[in-house]
């Protein structure tokens, strides 16, 4: 079974993030979900992003790196939106990464190193008309990341929701979330072999 370090989005460690982690656990995977916001949660993206800006994105990323400290090197790093920052940085810079799962976000590879490490399979998931994902450059970064790589994939879902995986919110898109989860489980199962 795979071991996953999952980082939450700008709303904080919500029930929706916990529910996704539980789905992976029910499939037999070990999932660690650190709280990068130290107990705070937010109802809307603007408030959550405002808190992240106040704390500092470097601090949020450093908290993610500390969370990985006691875990094995061969782990899958996963992140929703804001959580992509520590997930992608760790996948690119921590030796032995087993894979990366990036939801609603992707940073240019050059932000964390000269190139993506060989042998680190990756999935990027986002909505094709999500203004945060498309207009902020994440889609372009994702396309660059997967270009010409057989073990890296980009999955686009129709819609505008940024947190389409977040159950219990108006942004939740059940059909896209179900397909995304299915693809993630196939990705994790493939790592076992």
Q: How many CB atoms lie within 10 A of CB 16?
A: 21
Paired strand residues for 12: 41
CB-based contacts of 72, cutoff 8 Å, min separation 6: 3, 96
First to last CA, the chain: 9
What angle separates helix 84-93 from helix 57-68, to the nearest 10 degrees?
A: 50
Average pLDDT over residues 23-34: 97
The pLDDT tens digits of the residues spanning 107-143 come to 999 999 999 999 999 999 999 999 999 999 999 999 9
User: What's the confidence (pLDDT) of residue 148?
Assistant: 87
Calpha distance 45→26 (Å, rounded): 29
Whether residue 192 is predicted with pLDDT greater than 70 in this model: the reply is: no
For the question of whether the overall pTM of this predicted structure is more than 0.85, the answer is yes
Instruction: Identify the band that residue 168 occupies on the pLDDT scale cut at 50, 70 and 90.
Output: confident
Domains and CATH numbers, the chain: 3-192 (3.40.50.1820)
């Amino acid at each position: 079974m795979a071991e996953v370090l999952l980082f939450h989005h700008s709303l904080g460690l919500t029930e929706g993030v916990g529910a996704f982690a539980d789905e992976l656990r029910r499939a037999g995977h070990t999932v660690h979900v650190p709280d990068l916001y130290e107990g705070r949660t937010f109802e809307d993206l603007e408030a959550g992003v405002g808190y992240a800006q106040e704390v500092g994105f470097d601090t949020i990323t450093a908290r993610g790196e500390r969370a990985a400290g006691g875990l094995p090197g061969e782990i899958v790093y996963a992140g929703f939106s804001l959580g992509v920052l520590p997930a992608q940085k760790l996948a690119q810079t921590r030796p032995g990464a087993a894979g990366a799962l990036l939801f609603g976000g992707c940073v240019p590879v050059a932000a964390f190193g000269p190139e993506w490490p060989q042998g680190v399979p990756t999935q990027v998931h986002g909505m094709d008309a999500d203004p945060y994902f498309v207009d902020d450059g994440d889609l372009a970064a994702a396309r660059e990341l997967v270009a010409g790589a057989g073990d890296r994939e980009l999955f686009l879902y129709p819609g505008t929701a940024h947190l389409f995986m977040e159950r219990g919110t108006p942004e939740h898109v059940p059909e896209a979330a179900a397909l995304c989860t299915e693809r993630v489980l196939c990705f994790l199962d493939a790592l076992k072999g």
